[in-house]
Copies of this chain bind each other. A is one copy, B any other.
Amino acid sequence: MPIVPLFKPPYYAVVFTSLRTEGDAGYASMAARMDELARQQPGYLGFESARSEIGITVSYWRDLESVRAWKQQLEHLDAQRRGRDEWYETYTVRVCRVEYEYDFKR
């Protein structure tokens, strides 16, 4: 899982923070499928993910239209429904505009 390189702001970051239920229940395969599917969406720029006690996934998008289109994508809608039914105790979604950015490389 690489770090997503910087882009030229403004663009959008969707911060998805979650607390999982116990067990897998098809979660891992669906997560892999959603990763594959997101890459095919217009405006997709990349995503980063980590999980300890909570999970944080940040996906990056060119504009708000591409954020909204991804939320409404049919197979993704089904995954969202299964997420609420089975995989998540709780989650938050924050749609954010990247204002400025910087990085460090050794």
Complex contact B96–A99 (CB within 8 A): yes
Residues of A44-63 at the interface with B, using a CB-CB cut-off of 8 Å, are 48-56, 58
Complex contact B15–A15 (CB within 8 A): yes
CA distance A56 to B101 in the complex (A): 15
CA distance A106 to B21 in the complex (A): 10
Given pairs A88-B104, A89-B105, 17 additional interface contacts (CB within 8 A): A1-B52, A2-B54, A3-B90, A13-B94, A17-B58, A48-B56, A50-B50, A56-B56, A83-B104, A84-B106, A88-B106, A89-B106, A90-B106, A92-B104, A94-B98, A96-B96, A96-B98
Chain A residues with a Cβ under 8 A of chain B: 1-6, 12-13, 15, 17-19, 48-56, 58, 64, 83-84, 88-106
